[in-house]
Structure 1
């Protein structure tokens, strides 16, 4: 089978290569899935770079989600031929072996380019919004607001009448206002803290959702009001977030991290099933799933990774085959 493999850490476009590997066989309680599509997510690149929460034994295959069909099963369910979303390590290859509990049957109404995005961003957005527990009228600041995940969070919190400040790096995101953002701030040209104080009546935001870190993340934290909370879920900048003990103590700030595998592992099977059902319903609605910027075959993985970093990209890059 074709597999995308890396044998050393570094920028994904430079260290991954397509190779042939034996097709795996499922063991007890496992299912063999023929993967048809998988998105390129930021966590995939962190994994290749050696900056993810899991350190792989090299050589390794990237990818944490995808969609495909059951080819072989030792459990009897799902049945052979059933279309499923996969939550597994190593989806950037044609076949993957997955525990039966980590599969989600996919309805026909979700095409592959949508269903392959089921198990990471939608579940993250649902758990994040529950963790933030914001109320109508509260203010939320979202960094990297043009990302697929941030747009999903915006969609969910606007249903609860939470007001959002979306921080971006350029002026290509007018659609965020149409999607419900109360303010869109361009960090490349605007005074982020000053603009946030202006739109919140001088109070600051109740919560920050930061996927960037570094100086952008530090700036976002300075936008919090007293008693505010921040959830850090990414490290796109790679730098350290700065917050003083003075701010933590006298402004009563709460700062927490969020990693999807950890939080999913703490949910009961019933809650995980409810989250999956909710994610399918959301992805079935117009405007929730990320649009597709481009589709590449596994053979063209280097071009796909270059496309991910192309200026002006809007939407997910999908690997097929």
Structure 2
């Protein structure tokens, strides 16, 4: 089978290699999945660079999220051969993956691979953060990197709950598409002063910030909170930490918390976890929430896929099939 691996951490274009290897045999509690599609997420790139919360055990394959068909069932027959499933694993940029049967999620055969392969990390993170935040109808949330796949999902899910959404972009041409999705306020931080616009439009600031960027933009987002507000940090696209103003934190009684999907899912009961999966898949199946695809590439053309992924202003996910 083909797989994309790296023997050392570094920039993906420098360290990733395509190789042929044997098809793996699953253990008794595992299923073997023939992977049919995977999307490229920021966490994939950070993992390859050695900058993620999980340290790669080298040599390692890349990728955390995928969809595929069960090629060989586990000994208990938990799921039948031929079942379409989504899953997360360390190393999905390969043709076959063996993982515990209990960790995969069946999805309808009619769900397109391009949708199914991005049905876990971003949709579940968007859903989880809205649940965890405690935001109520009529309250404001500010989403940095609003034009990202995650940002678009949060806008749509928040609107279904009556939550008001402000988001940041860096290009004027990104505004209209986010407003069409339901964003109440879209701010181009290259041209507009974030805190000034937020205070003018909301009156007192936002209740919660979902920050994927960090750095200076994270600090400006923090300053856009109303008294008693909270910033949930779940990414660091700028690769810089947020410079924190202690006086602001003290006198406005602000909070900064981290959010990692893995930790949130582990905190749920089995029933709550299944309900969350069912709700998110329901959104996607009914197309109440839509996901975008900017390009699709065969696995062996991963370098071209990475080039497309790095294009500024990209509108949608890059898929490896």
Name the TM tier (shorter chain).
Answer: over 0.9
Per-residue deviation at 1:268? 2.0
Q: Is the 8 A contact 2:157 2:289 kept in 1?
A: no
- Partners in 1 of 2:21 and 2:241 — Cα distance? 39
- Partners in 1 of 2:290 and 2:40 — Cα distance? 14
DSSP-derived class of the 1:55 partner? coil
Deviates most, 227-236 or 130-139: 130-139
Q: Is the 8 A contact 2:213 2:237 kept in 1?
A: yes
- Partners in 2 of 1:197 and 1:181 — Cα distance? 17
Per-residue deviation at 1:286? 2.8
DSSP-derived class of the 1:225 partner? strand
- Partners in 2 of 1:272 and 1:109 — Cα distance? 23
Match of 2:222 in 1: 221
- Partners in 2 of 1:7 and 1:309 — Cα distance? 22
- Partners in 2 of 1:102 and 1:119 — Cα distance? 12
Per-residue deviation at 1:246? 1.8
- Partners in 1 of 2:291 and 2:173 — Cα distance? 16
Q: Deviations over 1:1-50 (max 9, x none)?
A: 10000111122122211111222111121111000100001110111011
Distance 1:232 1:118, change over 3 A: same
- Partners in 1 of 2:202 and 2:299 — Cα distance? 47
- Partners in 1 of 2:288 and 2:159 — Cα distance? 14
Per-residue deviation at 1:289? 3.2
Q: How many residues get paired?
A: 319
Match of 2:168 in 1: 167
Gaps in structure 1 of 5+ consecutive residues? none
Q: Is the 8 A contact 1:88 1:102 kept in 2?
A: no
DSSP-derived class of the 1:84 partner? strand
Match of 1:115 in 2: 116
Per-residue deviation at 1:109? 2.7
DSSP-derived class of the 1:172 partner? helix
Match of 1:61 in 2: 61
Match of 2:131 in 1: 130
Per-residue deviation at 1:250? 1.6
Q: Deviations over 1:268-317 (max 9, x none)?
A: 22222111111211111336232111000011000000100112311010
Match of 2:281 in 1: 280
Match of 1:17 in 2: 17
- Partners in 2 of 1:29 and 1:119 — Cα distance? 22
Per-residue deviation at 1:219? 0.9
- Partners in 1 of 2:304 and 2:248 — Cα distance? 45
- Partners in 2 of 1:319 and 1:291 — Cα distance? 14
Deviates most, 203-212 or 286-295: 286-295
Match of 1:189 in 2: 191
Instruction: Return the TM-score normalized by structure 2.
Output: 0.97
